[in-house]
Amino acid sequence: MTTTRYLILEDGTSYEGKAFGSLATTSGEIVVNSTMNGYQEIITNQVYHNQIIVFTQSSIGNTGLDQNSYESVQPTAKGVVVREYENLATDHFKRISLDKYLKQHNIPGIYDIDTRQLRHHLQKVGNMKASIVDVDDEHAFDQLTATVLTNQQVAQVSTPKPYANPNDGDNVVVIDFGLKFGVLRELSKRKCNVTVVPYDTSSERILDLDPDGIVLSTGPGNPNDIKPGVLEMIRNVQSEVPLIAFGLGHELFAIANGAKLNPLFIEHHGSNHPIREIITNELLFADQEQGYQIDFKSVDHSKLFITYLDLINGSIQGLRHRDYPAVSFQFSPDGSPGPKDRDDIFDDFIETMATRRRQAYGF
């Protein structure tokens, strides 16, 4: 028999729904994702640390979870809200059903929610906290109001120790702010010899690894909350080796180079916004997991070029350093999930590393 549960919002709104996954009581920031395929990649993306994910896709779970689509080992999302879920594991990658997976990882889900109304509501009221609870009484709302969400998300999801993903190509160090596996897959495909290091690793230790290139990964939370040492590290390494940054990494790269970041009224998670590459005027689509945007006026044009723009909300989607081979992207070109319209960004990175090596060593 299905259990009735409630999704309650900080502004006092309550939605009655039915439980699936874990029956834990949970709180987090509520965000909406409008990508149609790839619920597995979304739920397992560390960018959703401490967040409750609302899917606009009306039915998720139609295919089971497969071994090739995890974006982390341990998902850290706080909840899943959907109109309808299907507890199937039917396709050829058959591994595990959504309900079972969420139970295993203690993530509560709630379905039978008018997610379209919920989205309309959130578009109006903006980002806020929410809980999935058994009873939507005053106590539950008090608890929600009193809940203080951590601002140490990166520290909680970053790897505590370095680890290697060996291969016989370029030597790449990935700084883990909440790394999603899509980036590792793209690097593996290009035979990169990867070392993943904790987010607060010093620039000396990173450069000691003798990297051909450095990746600043995506990750959760507010970029303004990051330890100052991280920005220092970015400034130190960007002048030494080719650097590429995504998502939170891009935001930190911008801050490290003098830009300011402001929160969006409502976070944007989806792959439906056209992104324009300024130099070519081409449009592309890619997964965007964005809660903050760079203040246009704060960009120091003597240091940074703006390379990509979101044509819907006007936000900066890409930067390039004028002096160093360093580039950053707000979006995720790795296509897990979402389109792979610009996965050649990784090829460019490999090419940059090669050019650099030729310049430095002549081969």
Partner 1 sequence: MDSNINKVLLLGSGPTQLGIENELDASAFEKLMALKKMGIKVIFINDNPFSVVSEEIQPANVYYQEINFENVKRLIEKEKPNAILPTVSGLNGLQVTWQLIDSGVLERNHVQILGISKDNIAKIINDNNLNDLLSEINEPIISSKIVNDYEEAFDFVRGIGFPVIVKPISPNRDTSRKLCSNGEELQAALEYSFSRTYVNQCLIEQSIVGLKEIEMVGVRDVVGNKILVSGLEDMDPIGIHSADSIIFAPTQTLVSQEYQRLRSATFKIMDALNLNGTCHVQFAQSRTDDKYYVTKVSPFFTRNTMLASKATGYPISYISGFLELGILLTEIKLPERFGNSLAIMEPTLDHTVVKIPLWPFEDVPDADRHLNTTIKSVGSVIGIGRSVEEAIIKAMHSSQYSPRDILPTAQKMDEDSLIRQLIHPLENRMLILIEALRRGFSIDELSELTKIDQFYFYKINQLLKIQEYVKNHPLCSEAVKIGHKYGFGDGMLAELWNTDIMSIRKINQDNGFRVTYKEVEPSAGEFIEKTNIFYSSYELENESSPFNSKSALVIGRGGNQLGPNTASDYYTTQVLIELHKLGFKTIIMNTNPNAVSLVPHLSNKQYIEPIQLGNILNIVEIEKPEYVFLPGNRHYLTKQLRKFKNLKVIILPPDQEKTSFNKNKANTAVDLFIDGNNILPITTTTLDTANNKNSLKYITNYYQPMKQHTKYGNYLIDKSISMLKNSDYQGLIQVLFDYDSLTDQFEFIGFRPIRITETAFLSKITGVNWVRVLVKKNVGNVDFNRLEKMVKPDHYLRVANMISQFPFNQLRANQHAGSTQQEVGARLEFKNIN
Which residues are at the interface with partner 1 (CB under 8 A)? 15, 34-38, 40-41, 56-59, 62-63, 66, 68-69, 83-84, 86, 88, 90-93, 112, 114-117, 119-120, 123, 270-274, 276, 281-283, 285, 311-312, 335-341
What percent helix, strand, coil does the chain show, rounded to 5?
Answer: 25, 30, 40
C-beta closer to partner 1: residue 71 or 212 = 71
> Residue holding tokens 């830009």?
259
By beta-carbon proximity to partner 1, the closer residue of 62 and 165 is 62
Least CB distance to partner 1 at residue 71 (A): 11
**Coil, strand or helix at 64:** coil
The least CB distance from residue 63 to partner 1, in Å, is: 5
38 or 220: whose CB is closer to partner 1?
Answer: 38
Check the CA dihedral 83-88-90-91 and report its sign: positive
| 264, two tokens | 């969006």
Q: What is the closest distance, in whole angstroms, from the C-beta atom of residue 93 to partner 1 in the complex?
A: 7
Q: Shortest CA distance to 331 belongs to which of 289, 360, 293, 296?
A: 289
Residue 113 makes CB contacts below 8 A (sequence gap 6+) with 7, 15, 17, 54, 81, 82, 83
Nearer to partner 1, 32 or 237 (CB): 32
Task: Provide the residue type at 96 as one letter.
Answer: I
Of residues 200 and 341, the one with the C-beta less far from partner 1: 341
The least distance separating partner 1 from the CB of residue 335, rounded to whole angstroms, comes to 5
Integer CA distances (angstroms), 153 to 171, 281, 318, 323, in order: 28, 36, 24, 32
Query: In the 8-state DSSP scheme, what is residue 22?
Result: B
Angle ∠(349,160,345) on CA atoms, nearest 5: 15
286 vs 353 by CB, closer to partner 1 = 286
Q: Tell the smallest beta-carbon distance from residue 96 to partner 1 (Å).
A: 13
Least distance (Å) between residue 111 CB and partner 1? 10
